[in-house]
Chain A
Amino acid sequence: MHAASRVRPLRATLERVAVFIVLAALWEWAVDIFAIKPYLLPALSSVLRSLWHNRMMLLEQALVTGGEIVLGYAAAVIGGVLMALAIFTWPLAYRMFYPVLVVFQGLPKIALAPLMIVWVGYGTSSKVLMAFLFAFFPVMITTLGGLAGTPEHLVEHFRAIRASPWTMFRRLRLPAALPSIMDGCKTAMPLAVIGAIVGEFVGSQRGLGYLILESNAQARTDLLFAALVAISLLAGLLYWAIELLARRVWWRAL
């Protein structure tokens, strides 16, 4: 009985890590067996070595890119929620803004990136702006959906207890919409990462995206992959943070 309960958590951890281990092994083995040229795909061991060797620089650039992502993301969440609130509350706002937003969302923002850089500059603000543009729409749409999806019988209940419109919003619509909002936040985070990296690709002096450009320009593929690993870790960490936050929001069982 005791042995079983001790094994379970260990086994769960192993199961989580198993896929990664298998992929890592395959990577290392394939590079060797197929004699893949290092500038096409460096061996995992050389990437790890480069990761360790350049850890301070990678950390420094990760902080730069991380800062851009977090700022742009925060702006997108705040902006998206507020815009959804405005559209939900005022039909005029809905008629004016919603079509524009849908059209804009359809535009490939990657194509707009160089323009953004020219308008806003090569500094941090253009990356924050890109991250914001990528992350804004999912948050707005899910917030809107969450607000509109408030169950009618609860709305009636609040009317029955004579709640003011503000109380109905604060104590019913907003909490009821939270699961949807969190969904949007979760979707938006990886998009914010992409936005910041795209911004760095198009014009930057610092950051992990810039590091990728530089290492590619120097044909230092091991460093390039190390930077890719760093970006993956950064994105994973940020997403996990949002996950944790989302768990604190009540689940959905309306």
Chain B
Amino acid sequence: MKCILQLIGTAVCAWALGLPATASAQEKITYNMAWLPQGSSIGTIVAAQRGWFKEAGLDVDIVRGYGGGRTANELDQGQFEIGYVDPISLVLNRNNGGKIRLVGAINTQWPGGICYVLKQGQKRSLDDMRGLQLGGGSASPVHNVVPAWLEMNGKPRDFIRLVRLDPAVVDISLIEGKVDLAECWLASNWPLLRKQAKAAGVALDWIRYSDLGLNAYGSGFAAREEYISKKPEVVRNFLLASYRGFDFARSNPDQAADIAVQMFPTLDRAVVLEQIREINDLITDPQVASKGLGYLREDRMGSTLSFLDKAFDLHGKIKLPDIYTNDLLTK
């Protein structure tokens, strides 16, 4: 009789001890990539494939998104937990009463620029672009960023004419000469454009916004304030594993590309590899290397906010401490 009781007691203890472990393995998170799969989310992709999320007790689902604006709004509404959000969409969402915040940097510089086809090897300067047409996706931030950036460089806001295109035809329109200029993004469509240019037998060049005065962060990890305060450890563990993935991608870009293609078979491996190389570059900020990956600098966040404030006439409504935090990064 005593043996049976002991047996039952041991079993109950073992079950009770086992409970917390099973409970933490249940934590479900959805991460929204804000677009179709591409190299910019390689950190999270590697972490998922390598099982680093599972180790930390997280069950991460990586899903596609529909552009920065929608991602920011849906994140705020609670449709998922973490998103790949750009500062513009974040600030605009806050301006409409939303409560999301950047919790980790990925693009430490605004990765966008203006691409063009090289005619007889002639590079263009901003002055050469007077009156030219710039094709951008209909929901792209380009339509707000470019006029503000032109103003910043002492040009009238309509110096370059903006054309709204279906995102699917932006690249081809540039290659085929249907538009003079097109929006391009590092670690996103820039490698893709180069691939298509090669097939067409043309060469491309570009001007980065950051080359001419724009000192701003690009997209990074974002989360709802309410979620951050409720489950800080979960966010912390997610970021930890993801940046471990980004670190891996920096040292092993080829392997990372293989991992990406494994998870998303439609990806073109050569293009992904280029995107990974570019994001490796973008994620590294030598000035704050000691703080580790993901650290958001106050000065650059400040200049990001003041640029956006001017571009969208926000009249100082959004305050700097509201839009980002480094508290969820270890160290």
Contact = CB atoms under 8 A, between A and B. Distances in A.
Direct contact of A and B (CB under 8 A): yes
Interface in A209-224: 211, 213-220, 223
A217 B196 contact: no
B216 interface: no
Interface in B29-66: 35-38, 63-64, 66
Given A217-B36, A219-B271, A205 B266 contact: no
B36 A214 contact: yes
Interface string A183-207: 0000000000000000000010100
Given A39-B200, A213-B168, A218-B192, A223 B266 contact: yes
A25 interface: no
A245 interface: no
A219 B266 contact: no
A237 interface: no
A38 B192 CA distance: 14
B64 A205 contact: yes
A213 B66 contact: no
Contacts of A39: 172, 175, 196, 199-200
Contacts of B37: 214
B171 A219 contact: yes
Q: Is the interface of A mostly helix, strand, loop or mixed?
A: loop
A154 interface: no
Contacts of B196: 39, 219
A57 B265 CA distance: 9
Contact of B195 (A203, A216, A219): A219
Interface string A96-125: 000000000000000000000000000000
Contacts of B165: none
Contact of B267 (A57, A216, A218): A218
A37 B199 contact: yes
A213 B264 CA distance: 13
Contacts of B176: 40
A214 B63 contact: no
Interface centre among B35, B172, B264 (most CB of A within 10 A): B172
B50 to A, nearest CB: 23
A74 B268 CA distance: 37
Nearest to A220: B268
Nearest to B268: A218
B27 to A, nearest CB: 22
Interface residues of B, number: 23
Interface in B2-44: 35-38
Interface in B190-208: 192, 195-196, 199-200
A204 to B, nearest CB: 9
**Interface residues on chain A, size class:** 10 to 19
Given A57-B265, A205-B63, A211-B266, A217 B199 contact: no
A38 B196 CA distance: 9
A38 B200 CA distance: 9
Contact of A37 (B35, B64, B66, B200): B200
Interface centre among B64, B168, B266 (most CB of A within 10 A): B266
Contacts of A205: 63-64
Interface in B153-175: 168, 171-172, 175
B168 A217 contact: yes
A216 B66 CA distance: 15
Interface in B225-277: 264-268, 271
Interface string A29-43: 000000001111000
Interface centre among B64, B171, B265 (most CB of A within 10 A): B64
A205 B164 CA distance: 25
B192 to A, nearest CB: 5
B266 A214 contact: yes
A214 B175 CA distance: 19
Interface string A213-253: 11111111001000000000000000000000000000000
Nearest to A215: B266
A203 B171 CA distance: 21
A38 B264 CA distance: 23
A211 B176 CA distance: 24
A220 B176 CA distance: 17
Contacts of B64: 205
A166 B271 CA distance: 66
A61 to B, nearest CB: 10
A39 B266 CA distance: 16
Interface of B: 35-38, 63-64, 66, 168, 171-172, 175-176, 192, 195-196, 199-200, 264-268, 271
Interface of A: 37-40, 54, 57, 203, 205, 211, 213-220, 223
Given A57-B266, A218-B266, A219-B192, 7 more contacts: A39-B175, A39-B200, A205-B64, A218-B192, A218-B267, A218-B271, A219-B171
- A-B CB proximity, top 3 nearest: A214-B266, A217-B36, A218-B268
